[in-house]
Amino acid sequence: MQHIFIELWKYKDAWRDAGVDARQEYAERLAPMVASMTAAGVEVIAWGPNDPSVDLRADFDFFGVYRLPNRELFERLQAGIAASGWYDYFEHVNAGGTAMSPPAVLGDNIALAPPRPSPEDISPVMTGERRTTTVDGLGMSTVTLGEGRPIVFLHGDVGQAYLWRNVLPYAAQAGRAIAVDLLGSGESDKLPHSFDGAYSFRTQYDYLSRLLDALGVTRDVVLVGHDWGANLAFEWAKDHPGAVAGVAHTEAVTPPFEWDDWTPPMIRPMFRTMHSDEGEAFQLGDNQFVENIRMGVLRSLSETELDVYRAPYRRPGEDRRPPLDWAREVPLGGRRPETAALVQAHSRWMADSDVPKLLLRAEPGALTAGRRLDLLRTWRNQQEVAVRGVHWPSEDDPHGIGRALLTWLEETVGR
């Protein structure tokens, strides 16, 4: 997980008094230390003088800015600077922490939230066995980790199995964790003939159902879903009540579907665009719905992570159709009445069913807020755990999700 470290410094008398030879000797001793940290993965973005014309200039004459891939290196860099004797020669102040998105920090500022320690590291690497299963002539990709009871992970909108990479190791302690790339997403095939609505909820559900049958996932199944993936889980549970052992969900699409209920407000203009005639240019042309994943993540995603999410949609045109169809399936403003009826039906089933449920409520959250949260809290036999995140909590708090999921699996769902 990306960290940023910033230092500001100016000369102490000890540096001025050391003499040119001593200063040169000290700089030469620093060189291998800097090379060692660079080789370990510390990126020196820049060193430079603090321009006297800077507005509200800090009273320091030089700056250094570093980018680090994880917390371990973040701490090692600080320890190395202290051990080098640097602070003996320079007045110094430091700032740093997890690289976050501007909306996330502004949200904390609005709420007067105090600074938080950097969270646990989030790996950009997915582990597990990847395999492809043919469903009606199309390849559907899955990643599996662990053995035993099937625990199926489902993504929504612009996601893919990769979304769950840091959660799977926790679930694998309780069963066979299977993360699915839905049709047209991740490493799964796309439809040979695509059009507006080709990747409808019903089409995705039909392919998913046949995939689970092909994988032998037919009994004692736990489903874990995000966004539309949660709704796919609800629909499958409704249709297979004797086969489902539990459903965990986060940021599901649930009623009501009025524009004023769609939160946070900053995403409404994007969804209005996606629901308009401009949606094709916005997504099929510019891939903006995928690029805007960063709006729903608190931390700053690395280029490595972003490239995985971009990979299925590199080619403009119909290859970029699945995220557009998912956005248009949300029945806002009376659109998609058949989808609205379907969502209402499986939401009623979930509310009345005794199947064990786990609501992973994102804070500050996006879809799980207001009247939708009120509705979710009426569901029977449901536990609720708060996790950090806007719309993609498994990218912000996967360890919190993993621990909550494992506890729920062991203590509530049972073996």
- What sign has the CA pseudo-torsion 318, 323, 324, 326? positive
- What sign has the CA pseudo-torsion 181, 186, 191, 194? positive
- What sign has the CA pseudo-torsion 259, 263, 268, 270? negative
Q: Which of 251, 325, 329, 395 is catalytic?
A: 251
For residue 102, whether the previous peptide bond is cis, meaning omega lies within 30 degrees of 0, is no
Specify which residues 153 forms β-bridges with: 179, 224
| Catalytic site includes residue 193 | no
Containing 110, the helix (H) or strand (E) segment is helix 102-110
Residue 73 CA to chain centroid, in angstroms?
22
d(CA 362, CA 102): 18
Q: How far apart, in Å, are the Cα atoms of 95 and each of 6, 7, 232? A: 5, 6, 44
Three-state SS for 308?
Answer: helix
Amino acid identity at 335:
R
| Catalytic site includes residue 226 | no
What is the maximal distance between C-alpha atoms in the chain? 81
Specify which residues 384 forms β-bridges with: 359
| Catalytic site includes residue 251 | yes
Q: Which of 7, 181, 227, 235 is catalytic?
A: 227
DSSP 108: H
Sequence-distant (≥ 6) Cβ neighbours of residue 164 within 8 angstroms: 153, 155, 177, 179, 224, 394, 398
Q: Give me the phi and psi of 14, to 5 degrees please.
A: -60, -35
Annotated catalytic residues are 227, 251, 391
